[in-house]
Amino acid sequence: MAVLPPEFGRSKSAFVERILGLRWNVVLLLSLVAGIGVAALYSAADGNMQPWATKQMTRFAIALAPMLGAALLGLRRWFRIAYWTYIVTLVLIVAVDMRGFVGMGAQRWIDLGIIQLQPSELMSITLVLSLGRYFHSLSDENISKLRYFILPSLMTLIPTVLVLKQPDLGTAMVILMSGIVVMFIAGVRLRLFAICISVVGMCLPIVWKALRDYQKLRIYTFLDPDSDPLGAGYHILQSKIALGSGGLFGKGFLLGTQSHLSFLPEKQTDFIFTTLAEEFGLIGGFMLLALYAALIAYGFVIGLRCRSHFGRLLCLGIVTNFFLYVFINIAMVTGLIPVVGIPLPLISYGGTAMLTVMIGMGLMMSVYLDQDVRLNRVGEAHTD
């Protein structure tokens, strides 16, 4: 993958201009959120930089590079390689299924040495990329036709099913919903969605059968978490206790009893929001939500301002994807939806999640930089 921007060779000043033109306030927002994440990990380790905080900080610093690279690569090039990124990710997912090793009871990782790559998370980005390209190339009259709906549906459903089989219900949901949102924004008719939903509805019993016992249990316990407080409902209940006992101002940094006395499950990954909200209370939780809202708002503004269909779909798809991660994670730890195992972007400890978010943000900035670039059906740029 080319890291150097296309303009690099032509004009040095253009490249500098491009860097200066980046939305640095987005980078600032990202750094703020990541900083909160490091603090949360520091607290989760009982006030130690080890084993999580230092590593997470390093990852964020390193991930800034692919982000900038993604931003500077240029929308046109992304358009060209869109399908390839999708295919590569799909192959990686299949590879994970074939020879991935068991981690947390689920086969999700490829060990790349530096990070344990979880290609399913990358898929949510590359799917948006390739769907963006597909619908960009589609004429308006074809969009509403059923046969042009089949390919994007397959592009969405294949990785969804593969990830579901890993089994990773949360990521599968994010992939599926990202695909649906992109198609919706692209203008696919509601009628087609209605057909889709009925098909999905018919498939539900089959999906239910395909679910692992623990996944079924999670849905059961979601429906009635207090029924078995020491069994499967333990995680949700303990998380709610942590949040509720935090109150308005929280128990104070490093003073969260629920997380420090190990009542919280997965406190450094999926349940890290609970650690934060226990120690910083409603105010802390609201501030983090506000930061996320600001990032999402930026994304929407950039997406809506973009002139190219591809850029708009890409940006909105990525923002939606980002939003889904935030929403599902927080809704999960607050007991609004079942526990599905989704990290909180930029805060949860984990390499792939960090990388995915940062590349997504890079793509978003790339759209911003090239918001005025027009692309024809095959992706050739023509500026006004």
Partner 1 sequence: MLGTLAARLFQLQIVDSDRYVVLSDENRINLRLLTPPRGRILDRFGIPLADNRQDYHLVITAEQAGNIPATLDALAALIEIEEADRARVMREVRRKHSFVPVVVRDNLSWDEMARVEVAVPELPGISVEQGLTRNYPFRETAAHVIGYVAAVSEDEQTGDPLLELPDFRIGKAGIEKAQDGTLRGTAGTRQVEINAVGRVVRELARIDGDPGQDVVIGLDAAMQEFVTRRCANEPSVSSVLLDAISGEVLALVSSPAFDPALFTDGLKPAVWRQLSSDSRHPLANKAIAGIYPPGSTFKPVAALAALTAGVLTPETAITCTGQLALGNAVFHCWRKGGHGTLRLRDAIKKSCDVFFYETARRLGIDRLAAMANRLGYGAPLGIDIPGEKGGLIPTQAWKLDTTGAAWQAGETLIAGIGQGSVLATPLQIATMVARLVSGRAVVPHFLRSAGIMTEEGGAAQPDFPEIGVDLDARALVLDGMNAVVNEPGGTAYAARIAEPEFAMGGKSGTSQVRRISQYERDHGLRKIDEIPWKDRDHALFVAFAPVSTPRYVCATVVEHAGFGSEVAAPICRDVLREVQLRDPARRVPAKNTVARSLSPTVPPLDALTTDRG
At closest approach, how far in Å is the CB of 330 from partner 1? 5
At closest approach, how far in Å is the CB of 314 from partner 1? 21
Cα–Cα distance for residue pair 277/3, rounded to 1 Å: 38
Nearer to partner 1, 320 or 366 (CB): 320
At closest approach, how far in Å is the CB of 228 from partner 1? 16
CA distances 346 to 122, 158, 295, 351, Å, are 14, 27, 12, 10
Query: How many C-beta neighbours within 10 Å does residue 295 have?
Result: 23
CB 62 within 8 A of CB 89: no
Nearer to partner 1, 90 or 242 (CB): 242
At closest approach, how far in Å is the CB of 262 from partner 1? 4
Cα–Cα distance for residue pair 110/56, rounded to 1 Å: 19
Burial class (CB in 10 A: 0-12, 13-18, 19+), 342: buried
What is the DSSP secondary structure assignment for residue 332, as one 8-state letter? H
At closest approach, how far in Å is the CB of 173 from partner 1? 15
The backbone region for 382, taken as left when phi is positive above 0, alpha when psi lies in -120 to 50, beta otherwise, is beta
Amino acid found at 40: A
Question: Which residues would be at the binding site for partner 1 (CB under 8 A)?
Answer: 238, 240-248, 257-258, 260-263, 277, 281-282, 285-286, 289, 292-293, 296, 323, 326-327, 330-331, 334-336
Nearer to partner 1, 251 or 309 (CB): 251
Nearer to partner 1, 323 or 368 (CB): 323
Closest-CA residue to 22 (of 325, 295, 369): 369
The pair phi, psi for residue 311, each rounded to 5°, is -60, -40
Nearer to partner 1, 180 or 192 (CB): 180
**Which residues are CB-neighbours of 125 under 8 A, at least 6 positions away?**
85, 318, 321, 356, 359, 360, 363
Cα–Cα distance for residue pair 5/303, rounded to 1 Å: 21
Nearer to partner 1, 64 or 241 (CB): 241
CB 342 within 8 A of CB 321: no
CB 135 within 8 A of CB 156: no
At closest approach, how far in Å is the CB of 241 from partner 1? 5
Cα–Cα distance for residue pair 199/194, rounded to 1 Å: 9
At closest approach, how far in Å is the CB of 258 from partner 1? 6
At closest approach, how far in Å is the CB of 315 from partner 1? 18
At closest approach, how far in Å is the CB of 213 from partner 1? 24
**Which tokens in the block code for residue 322?**
């980002």
Nearer to partner 1, 46 or 380 (CB): 46
Nearer to partner 1, 86 or 273 (CB): 273
**Which tokens in the block code for residue 24?**
């640095």
At closest approach, how far in Å is the CB of 345 from partner 1? 13
Nearer to partner 1, 54 or 257 (CB): 257
Nearer to partner 1, 168 or 278 (CB): 278
Cα–Cα distance for residue pair 38/49, rounded to 1 Å: 9
| Helix-strand-coil split of the chain, %, nearest 5 | 70, 5, 25
